[in-house]
Structure formats: C-alpha cells, structure tokens
Structure 1
Amino acid sequence: MQNVTLTQVYKHPIAKKYVARAGLDHAINTAFSAFDIAIRENVDTDLATKAAFLHDMGHYQWYTEGEWDFHSYKENDIHAIKGAERAHKLLIRLGEDRKAAKEIALAILLHTDSYLPEGQLHLDPLQQVVACADEANEEPNGMHHYREITEETALLRLQSLDRLVAGSKVKKKTS
C-alpha cells in the first residue's frame, strides 16, 4: 500500500517548483519507465516510481554569458546530492515512512555518477532501477529536461501511475 502517492507528492509546492525546473515531462516518463523496470526486476514499484519522479529535483540551470552551458553544468554538477536531500525532506513532510524516504533519497543520490570521482558504484536493485529508467529517458545535451507537458496532462498521467502502483503486486524487494 502506498503511504504517499505520486499525485500527493506532485501537488506539494516544493515538488511543483523543483520537479518542473528539471523537466516535469522527463520526471513522469522516468517514473513510468521505473515502474516497468521494477515489475520486471521484482523491485518495489512504489519506491521506484517516487525515486524516479523526484530524481532530478536537485537540478539547477547553468548559464555562461546568457547561454545554457551544458559542458560546464556536467563538469560542476551535484544535482543528485541536492535532489536527494530535497526529496527526503519533502517525503518526510508528506508523511512517508522514514525508511522508505531514506531508500528513495539514496536511489536519487545514486541515480548518476556525474558528481563522483572515477570508480565503480555498486547499486542495490532499487538504485539500479532508477538509474536505468533515467538513462532510458535521456536525450543528447540534456534536451529531455526541456520537453513540455501541461499541468492537467501531468496530473492525469501521475494519477494513472498511482493506480498502476496500487494494483501492482511487487512490493518491498529493494536490496
């Protein structure tokens, strides 16, 4: 059973601000991909979809002389760190189970290695789902962050995903 739904998360002003800044369409597409992958890999769909929906809420815009500077952004990126903290705080405020909120935040933290020194990450199954779902929805030069979606369509898609999660039999295998 979902403690907090994606729809509830989306309606919170903090989520609206930071998820929209990073690309609402990308967040929703990544959450749907995470659902599909979680079903296939027997991972908790509730945790996977929340982590995938919130995975980029730490993004910020990086401009040089008024132009989007993708190279500098990638070089100086720490969005996963900022996003994990924001997501954890938001989920706790909304009443999410504390253990679940931590697992979601860790999956957000580890969905990319762009901010880490070179090395091999060892991801648990939930973290792998979120990383794969994000990768599946990426476009060259970060263009996936700029696709548009109306608020009405976003809400309908999230409500649909909430129904899928509620009806899924996959729960609690996260590590």
Structure 2
Amino acid sequence: MARVTLVEVFNHRITQKYLQRSGIHHAVTVAENALQLAVKADVSQDLATKSALLHDMGHYEWYRDGKWDYEEYRKHDIHAIKGAERAHKLLIRLGEDRLVAKKVSLAVLLHTDSYLPFELNDKRTDLQDVVAEADALDEQPGGKHHYKEMDPSEAVRRLHVLDAEIGRISYKADH
C-alpha cells in the first residue's frame, strides 16, 4: 500500500475546512516540530507528522456577544475528541492503512488532556508524546497560535519538504 502523503492529506476538502478554523500555520508548524522530535525519539515520522498536521481539526469557534471567547471555549473544549474522529474518517477516505489511521486518531485524541478530568502524564505512547510536545512548542497564550496566517500555497510547499524528508528517512532505514 502506497503511503498517503501530507500534501494529499492537506489538499483534501475536509482538511481544508477544518484547518481554516484551527489555523494552517499552526498545523504545518506542529508537523515540522513533530518530524524533528520523531527523529530524536525514534518514532515513525509518517505517523508523527500526520498526527501533528491533523491534531486540531476538531476545533470549533466559541463566540459570546460576537467576540471570540477563549475562556468559554476552554471550558467546553472537546476538540481532541472531534478531531480524532475526523482524522480517522479522513485518512480512511484517502486510502490510508487502517492501523495507521487508528494510531493517528489516537495521537490526535491524546495530544492534550484539556478535556479530561485528569492529566495524561506518563500515560501516552512515544508517538502521542511527540505530538503533544510538538503542539506545545508552538502554543501561545490565549490561543493566539491559531490565528497566525499562512497562505495555502506556502503550506503545500512546506509539506512537500516534509514529505521528501520522510521519504528520504524511510529509504535510508530500509536500505
């Protein structure tokens, strides 16, 4: 089975819809962070970057009196649950291996514990830790990291670079 690339994932209409909400810049930056962390942790770069790219696709907007209300959003946040479901469906539609889709969706689900009544410290797999750390590296107070702008063509260019690097690393490992 051929690897589904990050560019293919990004270009799908479902990804486009949900990354507009959570921020293309943030998603791509977290995927770049995840590649570096995955290499250091000896974790699948393919799984780490896909999980990182899709980690916030469950975000929704929470407005009060016509203004974004970050505190209200945090109180009612279930983005990781919605994102895990959306990521799994998307990857299956793209023809991704079912085990890959499952691992990615679990990493999306567990990239944060903001929706849980307990912390996930020491309960995540290495892949899930990589995605959580990659996300944390780009976070800014008040959710400002979700509002950084990036043109979709720039995102595709950067994701092509990641896809090439993952292919190069995989080739080296296989030979």
Normalised to the residue count of structure 2, the TM-score between the two structures is 0.94
For 2:28, the equivalent position in structure 1 comes to 28
Q: State the Cα RMSD in Å.
A: 1.7
1:63-98 CA-to-partner distances (Å, cap 9, x unmatched) read: 111111110111110000000000000000000000
For 2:70, the equivalent position in structure 1 comes to 70
Q: Does 1:83 align with 2:83?
A: yes
- Structure 1 residues 140 and 170: CA distance shift in structure 2, 3 A: farther
Q: Does 1 or 2 have the higher relative contact order (CA < 8 Å, sep 6+)?
A: 1
Distance in 1 between residues matched to 2:171 and 2:148, nearest whole Å: 30
Residue pair 1:111, 1:127 contacting (<8 A) in 2 also: yes
- Structure 1 residues 132 and 170: CA distance shift in structure 2, 3 A: farther
Q: Does 1:116 align with 2:116?
A: yes
1:127-171 CA-to-partner distances (Å, cap 9, x unmatched) read: 000000000010110000000011111110111111011111499
Distance in 2 between residues matched to 1:30 and 1:52, nearest whole Å: 6
- Report runs of 4+ in structure 1 exceeding 2 Å deviation: 118-121, 169-172
Distance in 1 between residues matched to 2:171 and 2:92, nearest whole Å: 23
Residue pair 1:111, 1:131 contacting (<8 A) in 2 also: yes
For 2:148, the equivalent position in structure 1 comes to 147
Aligned-residue offset at 1:113? 0.3
1:39-78 CA-to-partner distances (Å, cap 9, x unmatched) read: 0000000000000000000000101111111101111100
- Structure 1 residues 123 and 130: CA distance shift in structure 2, 3 A: same
For 1:168, the equivalent position in structure 2 comes to 169
Normalised to the residue count of structure 1, the TM-score between the two structures is 0.94
Identity fraction in percent: 53
Residue pair 1:44, 1:171 contacting (<8 A) in 2 also: no
Structure 1: runs of 5 or more not aligned:
none
